[in-house]
Chain A
Amino acid sequence: MRKFATVFTIMGLLYVLSAFFGQAELYAQTAGASSGSLANALNVFWKHTGFSSVDYKYLLMIAVGLFFIYLAIRYNYEPLLLVPIGTGIIIGNIPLMEGFQIGIYEEGSVLNYLYFGVLKGVYPPLIFLGIGAMTDFSSMISNPRLMLLGAAAQLGVFGTFIGAMAMGFEIREAAAISIIGGADGPTAIFASSKLAPHFIGSIAIAAYSYMALVPVIQPPIMNLLVSKKERLIKMKPPRAVSKLEKILFPLIGLILTLFISPSALPLLGMLFFGNLLKESGVTNRLAETARTSLIDIITIVLGLTVGASTQAVRLLEDPVTGEMVNKGFLTSGSIKIFVLGAFSFAVATAGGLLFAKIMNLFLKEGNKVNPLIGAAGVSAVPASARVAQQEGLKADPSNHLLMHAMAPNVSGVIGSAVAAGIMMNFLL
């Protein structure tokens, strides 16, 4: 708490400083300083600093960025994402004088070139390539019926779609927002870049924030929906999967899923390609690059630019009324997106848990699934699987659910990409 007080005090001091310099500027103007004088030079310099155009909204966003970095470093919440995004938020909310090709939205600026990859959906498929190259699908192949949990958790996507429509969003915006329920950052960014590019920042920040908060969001819902007796269910160990099956999985998955939902091609195509690189056994160098250097580079650039796109104030002319409207991050739309994001994660978790309970009604004793692993269907690899494992261990320290939870977890990735593809099929 003291740390927060310190941060806000510094923010306040900066604001007071800006107000003081604003007075100095006014003095320089009233004194009628001639060009070339010290007062005028200082005035010009002042106008080029961030203090001259600072607004409390920028400071608020900088505080959000610092909070993300704090969460990542202090609590280890998704540090690989929150540190670049938090830094990006700070970079994007430094008040700038426009026209010098510096800001992310200014054509020709370095940040704008990097942001191109977000706007055109270049980075998410590359992230998926890396995910494919690092994911072991054998737990899913050994127990395929657990894939249903990944499908059930997509209730979060479609429930949020209805919710977003009810909250007054335009249909494509609602579809883009709904993908937050897939708990998959790259998929959410990809879908919003196609369906609602003006909301990329808000959607990405909401998706990644809630993904980082999975260990906080999911346990209360698990406690609410899963009884003590159900938590104690022990599942059969997964069988060993042959190498041939592992090689065939990406090929069959690629053909089957993309014939049904071709719009998911950039995401699922790269996911399965990455997995083939890993499992084929003859392209180790490529797989190694995809799962280490490549995904790291893309994560850095994606996180930073997504963070930087959250400019608090961005005045743009409304095409209909001609008035200047704030299309920046701090709008009522962003707040609604955050509310819907929380709702979508809760619904997705509940969907997975309840479906696991329904599955148990039809399964014989000994074959039953522990409903806790249903929560892993929300994607958010591997955080949600880890939560299922931890909750399982709390009930029975000898009950390890991680391997079982990985099956709905990775099928959730496929499910959310398919859901995004369907949304794009309908609306693009």
Chain B
Amino acid sequence: MTFLINVENWEWSDIFTITLVGYSVVFLVLVLLIYVFKLMPVVLNYKKRKSVEPGGAKMKGTEAHYVAGEVNAAIAMSLILYFNEQQHDDESNVITIKRVARIYSPWSSKIYSVNNVLR
């Protein structure tokens, strides 16, 4: 096995090398990801932007292509409320009791009386 650092006889310079290189690589990886994901919306919307630009309406960067999440939430909420209102409007407007239920209740039944006197 080959070691980049002599693990038995290390020096403080090795430790600082690992620290500096390691920290820089973590940054490098994430900075690369940042650039990729900053560029991605631009690349993905390249065709769309080209088709819009000749018409005159120029779009600035990527912002114009996306709607903020809270705007989406507001639209969704208004749609839900709208459809709920529709359901409300469709109701029959009949508020009378259709059927009077005569449910048996033994509260005054003679058969449960304490004294069932034979007649």
Contacts and interface: CB of A to CB of B under 8 A. Distances in A.
A-B interaction: yes
Nearest to A238: B69
Interface residues of A, number: 47
A261 B30 contact: no
A280 interface: no
A427 B26 contact: no
A242 interface: yes
Given A141-B37, A162-B15, A240-B67, A256 B4 contact: no
B68 interface: yes
B44 A256 contact: no
Contacts of A109: none
Nearest to B44: A244
Interface in A130-162: 140-141, 144-145, 147-148, 150-151, 154-155, 157-158, 161-162
Contacts of B90: none
B36 interface: yes
A423 to B, nearest CB: 7
Contacts of A145: 34, 38
Interface in B11-45: 12, 15-16, 18-19, 21-23, 25-38, 40-41, 44
Contact of A427 (B3, B25, B62): B3
Given A144-B38, A427-B7, A242 B29 contact: no
A15 interface: no
Query: Is chain A's binding surface mostly helix, strand, loop or mixed?
Result: helix
A260 B25 contact: yes
A428 interface: yes
Contact of B19 (A147, A162, A248): A162
Given A154-B23, A426-B18, A242 B30 contact: no
Interface stretch (A43-51, A223-231, A379-387, A412-420): A412-420
A161 B4 contact: no
B37 A249 contact: yes
Given A155-B23, A237-B70, A239-B69, A245 B30 contact: no
B44 A147 contact: no
Contacts of B5: 171, 426-427
A414 B36 CA distance: 15
Q: Categorize the interface residue count of chain B.
A: 35 or more
A54 interface: no
A245 B40 contact: yes
A425 interface: yes
A257 interface: yes
B69 A253 contact: no
Contact of A240 (B25, B36, B69): B69
Given A418-B26, A428-B1, A245 B44 contact: yes
Nearest to A153: B26
Given A165-B15, A423-B18, A242 B44 contact: yes
A237 B44 CA distance: 21
Given A148-B31, A426-B4, A418 B41 contact: no
Contacts of A428: 1
A291 interface: no
B72 interface: yes
Interface centre among A150, A245, A249, A418 (most CB of B within 10 A): A418
Contacts of A244: 44
Interface of A: 140-141, 144-145, 147-148, 150-151, 154-155, 157-158, 161-162, 165, 170-172, 175, 236-240, 242, 244-245, 248-249, 252-253, 256-257, 260-261, 403, 411, 414-415, 418-419, 422-423, 425-428
9 contacts: A147-B33, A150-B30, A161-B18, A172-B7, A239-B67, A242-B44, A245-B41, A256-B33, A422-B18
